Amino acid sequence: MAHKVTKIGVLTSGGDSPGMNAAIRAVVRTGLFHGLEVFGIMRGYQGMVEDDIIKMESRSVANIIQRGGTILKTARSKEFFEHEGRKKAYANLQKRGIDGLVIIGGDGSFRGAQKFSAEFDIPCVGLPGTIDKDMAGTDVTIGFDTAVNTAVQAIDKIRDTMDAHDRVFIVEVMGRDAGYIALHSGIATGAENILIPETKTDIEAIIHGLTEKEKRKKLVNLIVVAEGEEFGGGNEVAKVIRQRMPNADVRVTVLGHIQRGGAPTCEDRVVASHMGYYAVESLLLGRRNVMVGVINNKIHYTPLEKAVKEKHKIGTEWIKIQKILAS
């Protein structure tokens, strides 16, 4: 029989993503509804080590559902990597009687949770809070929809300038290891080329296409690049094109951290609220070390170990579709 959880802690860890606040709100209010005491752990695992832990009431999460970022803040924690740091963190939970944790973050955060849970026998439930959408065990992650919509709005504006000046525009979006933001925003904005870490960049084909356009005296071309593609992002791709095509007017825009911020979309608020509710339900049912995900619109539980090990893969048909639609 699983130990009954009575006091839970919630933290956000790793990179922030829009919708984290909606998830915090759902965890706090669902916990309180079930008569649990809920504690907010500030600055991720670092706050756990430093005892930066606050009691949360219903009003603690009033009026935050529409805000980007995270009210609990987030930080990288070197100390938590060490056993001594984790021991300190556990002592801080123990003195308050916290016997269950909800971790909102990405795979690094889940690795920490796994280790912590194994050492100190504390049940952990993970919620996928990452704009990259690269977690196995879920079709959606908290923050992806907002980030990709931010990218689309920016690229639409850039396209206006591109058309007016007959330029090649390279737009770099976030995605160090995953090309989802580039793929979705590229398809949505009619990009001629989309370069992502998951596929080999065919620079020859890009140069060939641009040379053909140059002959027709029309060089409008949009290339959406994930920061982690093999050449090393937008500026590197631009360098190659400029070397090979000295007459081309090539401009680079790096969208950077604007993709992380801003009010979450309706989709992200609903997804985060849904997942936050089920995180608490999971702890009450005695589930431990799982990530709450959504697959085919149904809540799905994946062991943290599996969520960390496997990446959500981009299907090759998407690359094919993009090529056909851009031709």
| Domain edges within the chain | 7-143+264-309, 146-260
Top mean-pLDDT range of 54-63, 160-169, 237-246, 313-322: 54-63
| Topology annotation, domain 146-260 | Rossmann fold (3.40.50)
The mean pLDDT of the chain is 91
Q: Is 102 annotated as a binding residue?
A: no
Q: Is 54 annotated as a binding residue?
A: no
Three-class secondary structure of residue 231 per DSSP: coil
Confidence at residue 2, expressed as pLDDT on a 0 to 100 scale: 53
Mean pLDDT of 227-244: 87
Residue 3 binned pLDDT confidence (cut-offs 50, 70, 90): low
Q: State yes or no: is 145 an active-site residue.
A: no
Task: Residue 166: count other Cβ atoms within 10 Å of its Cβ.
Answer: 14
- CATH number for the domain running over 7-143+264-309: 3.40.50.450
Q: Are 106 and 135 in contact (CB under 8 A)?
A: yes
CA distance 282 to 125: 7
CA distance 169 to 188: 16
Helix, strand, coil % over all residues of the chain, rounded to 5: 45, 20, 35
Mean pLDDT of 189-199: 89
Residue 44 binned pLDDT confidence (cut-offs 50, 70, 90): very high
CA distance 253 to 255: 6
Q: Is 168 annotated as a binding residue?
A: no
Q: Are 102 and 12 in contact (CB under 8 A)?
A: no
Confidence at residue 57, expressed as pLDDT on a 0 to 100 scale: 96
CA distance 246 to 304: 50
In CATH terms, are 7-143+264-309 and 146-260 the same topology? yes
Residue 101 binned pLDDT confidence (cut-offs 50, 70, 90): very high
Spot the catalytic one: 16, 132, 134, 268: 132
Q: Are 285 and 121 in contact (CB under 8 A)?
A: no
Q: Is 218 annotated as a binding residue?
A: yes
Confidence at residue 1, expressed as pLDDT on a 0 to 100 scale: 39
CA distance 269 to 21: 9
Ordered DSSP codes for 17-74: -TTHHHHHHHHHHHHHHTT-EEEEETTHHHHHHTT-EEEE-GGGGTT-TT-SS-TT--
- List, in order, residues 6 or more apart from 239 with CB less than 8 Å away: none
Residue 325 has pLDDT above 50, yes or no: yes
Q: Which residue from 291, 29, 290, 287 is spatially nearest to 140, judged by alpha carbons?
A: 291
Confidence at residue 313, expressed as pLDDT on a 0 to 100 scale: 74
Confidence at residue 211, expressed as pLDDT on a 0 to 100 scale: 84
Lowest mean pLDDT among 32-41, 189-198, 289-298: 189-198
CA distance 47 to 59: 21
- Report the alpha-carbon angle 157-161-166, nearest 5: 140
Confidence at residue 317, expressed as pLDDT on a 0 to 100 scale: 84
Single pTM value for the model: 0.93
